[in-house]
Structures are given as C-alpha cells and as structure tokens.
Amino acid sequence: MTGGFNIKRAVALLALMLSSGPAAADTPVAEVSQLRIYSAFWQNLHHFLYVSAWATRPVVPRAPRLAMPLPQEPAVSLTAEEKAAWDAAVAYYDGNIASKNLNFDNGLTRIKVALADADEALGNAAIEEALRSTLLEAAPIYRKYWWRDHDAANRSWIALVSRQTSTVAAPIIERLTALYGVQWFTTPVRVDVVRAGHSLGAYTSINPRPHIVVASGDSSYGGWAGTEMLFHEASHALFDNVRLAIESAAKAANKQPRDLWHVVLFYIAGELTRQQLAKNGIEYRPYLYATGLFDKAWPALREPVEGAVRPFVDGHLTLDRMAAELAHALP
C-alpha cells in the first residue's frame, strides 16, 4: 500500500469521522422482539471483502465455496490508485481470511464481535493491526463506490422483514420456546444485515453472545422467508435441549446422520412460520421446500423428519418421544 494513498486515507478517515459514517450506521435500524437489527458499515465492509476475495477464486466443481456470489450490481470505475488499494485489501482477505468459515472459525467470530463493538475509527477494535490497516485503507473506497447502495438495500430488507415479523412474532415465539423448553431472549440479540456474506446467506455465532448475520443480497431470504430465517437463526441460541435429545436418541440407535439436528431446526422454524401465516390467511412454503434444500442436501432425512417432527410441532409428541421416533425412522 503506497505512502501517497495513506495521506489520502488520513484525510478521508477524518472526513468519515466528522460525517454520519459508521456511527450512524451502528444505530439500530429496527428491533423486533429483542432482535436488534443493524446495517453497520464495518460489518458490511468486512463481509464484502470476504466475498470479493472468493470472487477472485476459480470455481472448482464439487469443491465447497464459503461465500455467496457477489451481488449483481453496476460496475464501478476506480482510479488506478484506488484500484491498487482495493486489490491489496482483497488480496489480504484472500490470503488471510477467506479460507476460514465465517460460521465455524473462532477467529472470524472474534473479528465479527470486535467490529460490532468498535468505534468508528476502529481504534478500540480487538483485531490484528494488519486487518485494522486493511479495513481503514479500504473504507473510503467502499464508502465512495458501494456503501450507499448496500446500506439502502439492507435498510429496505430490514424495513420489510421487521414490519411483517412484528405481526406474527408473539405467537411464533410462544410456540418456539414451548417446544425448546427455554425462555426467549431477555436482552437484545444483535442482527447484522450485510449485503453479501456466507454461502448459506445467514449464520449465527453463540459465544460470547448470540450474534446473527443475514445477507440482504440472498434472494432466497426475500419476503416471508426473511421472517422464517430470523426465527431460524435465533433458534440456534435456544436449541440445546432439542439438539441433545436428538443426538442422544440417535446415538442410542447407533445412527449418526450428518446435520440431523440442524434439519430439525430448519423444519420447526419453517413449519411454525407456515402455520402462523396460514392462520393469517397467507400461503407460505417453508425454506426447506421453497429452495429445494431438503431434497438437494438431505433427501434421506425428509421422511423421518416429517414423520416424527410434525407431531412434535403440533403437540402430539413429547421431545423425548419425538427424538426416539426420529432415530428409529432414520435409514
């Protein structure tokens, strides 16, 4: 990174600090039932660089990709100096960040939490100096060319999803917590909406506190699917009782299918959303079915999950009985 650009960076950063920059973006956009939803500058830049790094990598058949595609947006024309600085930031992410899974890597979770707690100049962010420098170098370029549109798209998604979710939150939460055997959150849970991010479109970390990230650029999260996904991602912090019952029953039956408890979580959040919307006269296909995910990823689990978990959702089976019947039905 050139010294000349560092001077410009300092000027741009000063302007950033004196403007309605990240501090304004870090004000919550909406809150629904303790889910406090943000469109935050540093989270968006971090995730956009992660996805941009993946966009430079060739697509290898059958090889997993950890980031979603870049959103389809108009091309931008950076100056030569800006392009050099942006390419250096993307290269840093490619070499140091992007090969790690946003959802499972403890180091990336620490970065996400640090950025959520950071001031607008990253002065207090508990991150490595090389990452801090990279983000500060890239920030004025991201703000100039992408941030306005990304923030607007995020806020549009938040406005729709928060408005519609508020109409169904109370009855869905009442049923979710009854099924999970836990209380709903008593303190706000941070939900960061970013334009682009994880290949799954959304992910949640639990430690040191629940923290949800959702990509507004994932079209499968449009409309009521956004509501389902808020309850799905929140469920990750509430699901231990169900997960442990399922894992124990499967182990006792000498069966350990991949992702079983997560498929059950998908099914419960989707089915409760569908049932509540049906009561309101709205037809809705849960995410597992609307995206074809059930048949693409877990075809052998569809019949066992539908057969055992639906009676649990409807109150006809206890948790332990559901887990036992599910384990028995597994191939």
Same domain, 224 and 260: no
Mean pLDDT of the chain: 92
Among the listed residues 242, 309, 239, the one whose alpha carbon sits nearest the alpha carbon of residue 275: 309
Same domain, 226 and 269: no
Position 18 scores a pLDDT of: 35
Boundary of a domain, candidates 234, 259, 275: 234
Tally of domains in the chain: 2
Nearest-angstrom CA–CA distance, 11 and 115: 22
- Number of residues assigned to the chain: 331
Same domain, 66 and 128: yes
Same domain, 224 and 312: no
Same domain, 92 and 139: yes
Say if 108 falls within a structural domain: yes
- The residues near 313 (Cβ < 8 Å, ≥ 6 apart) are 175, 179, 267, 268, 271, 272, 275
Same domain, 122 and 180: yes
- Domain with 313, as residue range(s), is 239-329
Full-model pTM: 0.91
Same domain, 144 and 111: yes
Burial of 104 (0-12, 13-18, 19+ CB in 10 A): exposed
Q: Is the pLDDT of residue 12 over 60?
A: no
Position 329 scores a pLDDT of: 97
Same domain, 184 and 86: yes
Same domain, 254 and 290: yes
Digit-coded pLDDT (tens) for 171-183: 999 999 999 999 9
DSSP state, 190? E
Q: Is the pLDDT of residue 22 over 60?
A: no
Backbone torsions φ then ψ of 312, nearest 5 degrees:
-65, -45
Same domain, 120 and 256: no
Same domain, 83 and 109: yes
Same domain, 146 and 206: yes
